Chain A
Amino acid sequence: MSIKTNDLRRLLYAQLKQNIYPLILLVCSFGIYFTEYGNPNAMFWDENYHIASAEKHIDGVMYMEPHPPLGKMLMGLAEVMIGANTHVDKHKLNETDYLKGEDAPATMKYTGFRWPSVVLMALSVLFFYGILQRITQHKLFAFLFSSFIIFDNALVIHARAAMLEGIQLFFILAALYYLVRSITSGKKITFVNYVILGLLIGLAISVKINAFILLLLFIMLFGVDQWKNIQSLNFLAVGKRLLPTVPLGVGAVALVFLTVFYIHIGMGTKVIAERTYKASPEYLAAIHKGDTWSISTFIVGMRDNLKYMSEYADGVPKLDECKPDENGSFAMNWILGKKTINYRWDKDTIDGKVKVKYMTIVGNPIIWFSVAAGIVLSLGLIMSKFIYGQQEKYTPLFYWICAFTSLYMCYMIAILQIERVMYLYHYLVPLVFGSINLALVFNYIYRDDIINNNKHVWINISVYVTLVIAVFAFFSPLTYGFALTEDQFELRNWFSFWKLQVVK
């Protein structure tokens, strides 16, 4: 009996030791993302849209939106499961697409709607750690650099809300982790790998369309899968492999995307307040008949939803930097954190002093500037091989750097083609690519010292991570809405190009 207990204890200890880093990360992540996430008990930024949409899923109301519905479905599901507003009359949410603060029920809580974004983003750190650990093969290094996804003020404020990015980043990191796992596992890449990767990409796209950038992951998986044939210019074998893998991968993406829309269309069983979203007469007739789950209704509903998304995108205004209250910004400016957005503020006079609770999206400058530096360094490294013919020192690591730099660059190039106004939080996706890239570049530069356990490199990394955490803490009043005086606010206004605006 005692032998068994000892064995169990030893096994538990071994497991704990094995997983101590992810456990610590998870505790930190939940501490940062989850603590008091119900505050402010009021909506800010796009919550006014998403909460109204999520409620429509709960009440079976038909609606259309510029973004695919998975994010709002999860918000609706969490709202029902948590039941924070069971006795609140939320009928007003169904009568509008943009819920004004004054129309929101006074006693309504936001913990349910925000839950998926908060929890999924907090869990994402495990994928981030897994990606770094698998590529660098160094647990402590992966652990320390995973702080980048926990202690970024922009990620935290945006994910602690009923918004889409937190949910989407979870699926994006899951897809990236799966790609890394498939390639580094040492096993042969099979059709199953393509299908699972496709399912994860499909989930990310079903939250927000900009996750289409992840289709590049198929190219990477295929490149590794067929590396020998590509090197030997065996195009016949490459073509043979393409024939099943493309339909399997893309089919999995399409399957998830269409299934999400099938559920969305099926759940929309009533039209409220004549809000038809320009739905076709056939679609409306099917809703009135209660025939929303049929394939024929799905086809017309899907067509109408895609048309609505397209028309909505065409109607979004362009960036106008001359507009005094313009919140949008040019994509190239995001790299240095321009321009911040004051999502919400509450002004109060305490002991004769004006204090303001700001909810402002501002990046952790240590992380954002480091990510930019990492991209510059990795581009230099890539050019040194492909232009100057230098031999890379660590080949697999070099190609991972190529992969994440490509993802970052392709996203930014794609975004630059979009004419409509875009906002700083559209940079959160490439910021995550760039954060992984930064860790890899750092590992590439200091790899020998890291492997040889050079004290100096570990002291440097520790100081670096401490700086990241300290700067996060310094800017946290803008992230969590802690009251600041004007002077305290100005202490945080580090760069005029951020365009932080004090509330007088």
Chain B
Amino acid sequence: MKTIPFNKNLVFSVLLTVITLAIINRITPPHVNGVFNLVISKNRTSIANIHQQRDIEMSKMVKVDRINLAEKSQFRHPKLGEIGYSGDFFMDLDAPFTVKKSGDYLFFVSSDDGFILSVDGKQLCEWTHDRPLTRDTCNIHLNEGQHSFKLVYYQGYGNAGLLMNYRFSTDSSEYFMGDNSKYLSFY
């Protein structure tokens, strides 16, 4: 009977390869599809109202795959981690989307602190001042075809977070903004 020769060096090579790959996997910074470009702007002064005069100190653009930014009670993406500033910042998002099926749609915005949601240039709902993470529902009828939405958000101090979901009125399935479905698509 033939036996497979035991190669100690090969065993150690395999072990080193596995360890190296595990480390690379662990330390590679996360990456997501850039569906939305968020413009995040740090304000010089404290923000108490979404409509207040802005005094922008610096801005940055962050690409995210979906509006799921409320990890650990902070303005954090589950994979990308913290993407905002330590406090007093605005976030602006202006993005197109395609409606695949005409009908009534429900948009759910959970924010800590304020927000304004507009679709096709028409304001749907808003929360102007600070609050803990709370969900608002905004309804609209949308026809098949291209549309756009605009989401403005601000964080004052303390905990933060922003989530945005949608669903078709007669279907109980809920999706994050950014996730394609049989109703909406984003890219």
Contacts and interface: CB of A to CB of B under 8 A. Distances in A.
B12 to A, nearest CB: 5
Nearest to B19: A467
Contacts of B82: 353, 485-487
B1 interface: no
B9 A456 contact: yes
A203 B26 CA distance: 43
Contacts of A494: 26
A325 interface: no
A352 B42 contact: yes
B9 A446 contact: yes
A423 interface: no
Nearest to A486: B82
Interface-centre pick from A351, A460, A464 (highest chain B CB count, 10 A): A460
B86 A352 contact: yes
B13 A353 contact: no
B85 A353 contact: yes
A490 B81 contact: yes
Interface string B20-33: 10010011010000
A311 interface: no
A457 interface: yes
Contacts of A349: 86
B89 interface: yes
Contact of A460 (B9, B23, B81, B85): B9
Nearest to B12: A460
Interface string B33-77: 000000000100000000000000110000000000000000000
A349 B10 CA distance: 49
Given A352-B58, A352-B86, A486 B9 contact: no
Contacts of A487: 80-82
B141 interface: no
A474 B27 contact: yes
B13 A456 contact: yes
Contacts of A485: 82
Given A352-B89, A487-B81, A471 B57 contact: no
Contacts of A353: 82, 85-86
Nearest to A474: B27
A353 B29 CA distance: 18
A144 B89 CA distance: 51
A504 to B, nearest CB: 9
Nearest to B88: A352
Nearest to B17: A463
Contacts of A463: 13, 16, 20
A449 interface: yes
B85 A471 contact: no
Contacts of B57: 352
B8 interface: yes
A284 B58 CA distance: 66
A485 B26 CA distance: 17
| B interface bracket (residues with beta carbon within 8 Å of A) | 20 to 34
A454 interface: yes
Interface in B135-185: none
B91 to A, nearest CB: 13
B18 to A, nearest CB: 12
Contact of B58 (A351, A354, A457, A464): A351
Contact of A467 (B20, B81, B86): B20
Interface-centre pick from A352, A445, A449 (highest chain B CB count, 10 A): A352
A490 B23 CA distance: 14
Contact of B9 (A366, A454, A491): A454
A224 to B, nearest CB: 30
A460 B42 contact: no
Given A352-B42, A463-B16, A464-B16, A491 B27 contact: yes
A306 B170 CA distance: 83
Contacts of B81: 486-487, 490
A352 B9 contact: no
Contacts of B27: 474, 491
A457 B9 contact: yes
Nearest to A464: B16
Contacts of A459: 13
Contacts of A454: 9
Nearest to A504: B74
Contacts of A449: 8-9
Contacts of A446: 8-9, 12
A454 B10 CA distance: 12
A445 B82 CA distance: 47
A353 B42 CA distance: 10
Contacts of A486: 81-82
Interface in A472-504: 474, 485-487, 490-491, 494
Contacts of B80: 487
Contacts of A460: 9, 12-13, 16
Nearest to B84: A352
A464 to B, nearest CB: 6
Nearest to B9: A456
B65 to A, nearest CB: 17
Contact of A491 (B20, B29, B42): B29
A471 B8 contact: no
Contacts of B85: 352-353
A476 B167 CA distance: 47
Contacts of B8: 445-446, 449
A205 to B, nearest CB: 38
Nearest to A369: B19
Given A352-B58, A445-B8, A463-B20, 19 more contacts: A349-B86, A351-B58, A352-B57, A352-B85, A446-B9, A446-B12, A449-B9, A456-B9, A456-B10, A460-B16, A463-B13, A464-B16, A485-B82, A486-B81, A487-B81, A490-B81, A491-B27, A491-B29, A494-B26
Interface of A: 349, 351-354, 366, 445-446, 449, 454, 456-457, 459-460, 463-464, 467, 471, 474, 485-487, 490-491, 494
13 contacts: A352-B57, A352-B86, A353-B82, A353-B86, A354-B86, A446-B12, A456-B13, A463-B13, A464-B12, A486-B81, A486-B82, A490-B81, A491-B27
Give the top 10 A-B pairs by smallest Cβ distance, nearest first.
A487-B81, A352-B85, A456-B9, A352-B42, A460-B12, A354-B86, A463-B16, A457-B9, A491-B27, A349-B86
